[in-house]
Amino acid sequence: MMLFGVILAAGFLGACGKMSATDPEETVVLTGSQAALMNYAQNCSACHGAQGVNGAARQLADANYLASVGRQALISITTNGVPGGFCPGFGSNDLVNWISESDAKTVTEQIDKTRVKTVAEKNAEQFAHFVDGLLQAWGKNGAAISIPWSVRSAPAGNASSGQAVYATMCQSCHGAPGTTLASTAGSVTDPNYLRLITDQGLRSAVLFGRPDRGMPSWSGPFPNQAPDRTLSSQEISDVVAFLRSTASQKQ
């Protein structure tokens, strides 16, 4: 009876075409950028968007941004997070160790040196691989911008000259300072917004823009301005200083 059952079931099975039991997992060797993108999907896509665009946080699939910020700073941000921002540092938890070509190389190197690496070294390596993979995937042909992106190397800003810059370059989309409602792109002088974003965040936003959302970068083109009108490093510092001053005036 039992045998009959098995034969019968096998018959069903053939009919359903479900015969193939899945093969045991094959070891897939990924390229560095594939491995990086899988880690990106796991750890970053929630805020930065599925393909590095259209997320709530900064667009990362932006070759110029990646080139300007540079490999070292990107590794540091991935490991330690953005100071004062929402981006957490992922240094404390391992990135998933997808086997990538570069990892495979590392393993062989490790065997050559016959020295076991410390956890910190391994982590640092993983993050370096991750950033390299990301640069491979999204950073091709990116040109570093001549203007310093970091607030640390930026000139000091002047709020009152920044006000003029805001009025000509930003106001047509972001509205007059202090109006938190009714403007096409939404207010950037909303005190709550300013409390949530750092000066660095503001500087990066002005410098790199949001190409995926139609916000121009420092090189424009800006609405109602000559097409070759660009922002200088000083102007960006000024407008950041001005935005900051609107919030501190309120508090």
Residue 6: exposure state from Cβ atoms within 10 A (0-12, 13-18, ≥19): exposed
- Nearest CA to 184 out of 198, 170, 195 is that of 170
Residue whose CB is less far from another protein, 47 or 63:
47
86 lines the binding site for another protein (CB under 8 A):
yes
The only residue of 63, 176, 199, 211 in contact with another protein, by rule CB under 8 A: 176
Alpha-carbon distance values, 3 to 8, 10, 13, 14, 49 (Å): 8, 10, 15, 17, 55
Closer residue to another protein, CB minimum distance, 70 or 193: 193
Check if the beta carbon of residue 75 is closer than 8 Å to that of residue 66.
no
Q: Which of 29, 46, 107, 144 binds another protein (CB under 8 A)?
A: 46
Report the site for another protein in 88-117 (rule: CB under 8 A): 88
Q: Which CB atom, from 72 or from 179, has the smaller least distance to another protein?
A: 179
We find the least distance from the C-beta atom of residue 76 to another protein, in angstroms, to be 19
Would you say the C-alpha torsion 30, 136, 217, 75 has a positive or negative sign? positive
- Does position 187 bind another protein by CB under 8 A? yes
Nearer to another protein, 67 or 176 (CB): 176
User: Out of 83, 196, 221, 248, which residue is the one contacting another protein (CB under 8 A)?
Assistant: 196
Nearer to another protein, 38 or 124 (CB): 38
CB-hemisphere CA count at 13 Å for 135?
19
Question: Does 119 engage in binding with another protein (CB under 8 A)?
Answer: no
Selected from 83, 155, 178, 223, the binder of another protein by CB under 8 A is 178
Least Å distance, CB 123 to another protein, is: 17
Sign of CA dihedral 229, 232, 238, 241: positive
Concatenated DSSP letters for 171-193? HHHH-STT--SS-SS--S--HHH
Burial of 66 per CB tally in 10 Å (0-12, 13-18, 19+):
buried
- Give min distance, CB of 97 to another protein, in A: 16
Distance of alpha carbon 13 from alpha carbon 246, whole angstroms = 71
| Per-residue contact flags (x/-) with another protein for residues 53 to 82, judged by CB under 8 A | -xxxx-------------------------
What does R_g of the chain's alpha carbons equal in angstroms?
Answer: 25
Binding site for another protein (CB under 8 A): 1-2, 4-6, 8-10, 12-13, 16, 18, 21-24, 41-50, 54-57, 86, 88, 163, 167, 174, 176-182, 185-193, 195-197, 246, 249-250
